[in-house]
Amino acid sequence: MAKEITKKIKIQIPAGKATPAPPVGTVLGPTGINLQEFCTKYNDATKDRMGDILPVEISIYEDRSFDFAIKTPPTAFLIKKFAKIAKGSAKGASETVGTLTKDQLKEIAEIKLPDLNAYTIEAAMKIVEGTARDMGVTIAE
């Protein structure tokens, strides 16, 4: 018989840097899972992507065991990384803070494709382009 899932938790953690201290400990502590075991498994699974912030979906079972699925980094994080900016525009699309090339846009779309509601790279590029525009990042032709 399959194990019963009692809780699903979504949290964003820097790759390879999970510790039982807050914020990870604060969120997962009340669930009763072994925090050190989670942190060790997460850090091992993400050590090749150091520096990225990765959303993780944790399924906690009634026997206090767990599974987790690591998602792709948030689109805004990738746009800031590729455009080499610290943060997006406070005024949205009316203020330009950075520029991405079409190649960088395509690369971000390829990274995000598994987690986006799109079937083609072109559709994924439009989604990423909309997020970039809202952040004040223009797309160079």
Q: DSSP string covering 43-61, please?
A: HHHHGGGTT-EEEEEEEEE
pTM of the model: 0.80
* Three-state secondary-structure class, residue 88: coil
- Helix, strand, coil percentages, rounded to 5, for the chain: 45, 25, 35
Domain ranges of the chain: 5-70, 75-140
Rounded Cα distance between 48 and 30, Å, is: 29
Rounded Cα distance between 59 and 10, Å, is: 9
CATH architecture of 5-70: 2-Layer Sandwich (3.30)
For domain 75-140, the question of CATH label 1.10.10.250 is answered with yes
Q: What is the pLDDT of residues 36-74, one digit of tens each?
A: 998 899 999 988 888 888 899 999 998 888 999 999 889
Q: What is the pLDDT of residues 107-132, one digit of tens each?
A: 999 999 988 888 899 999 999 999 99
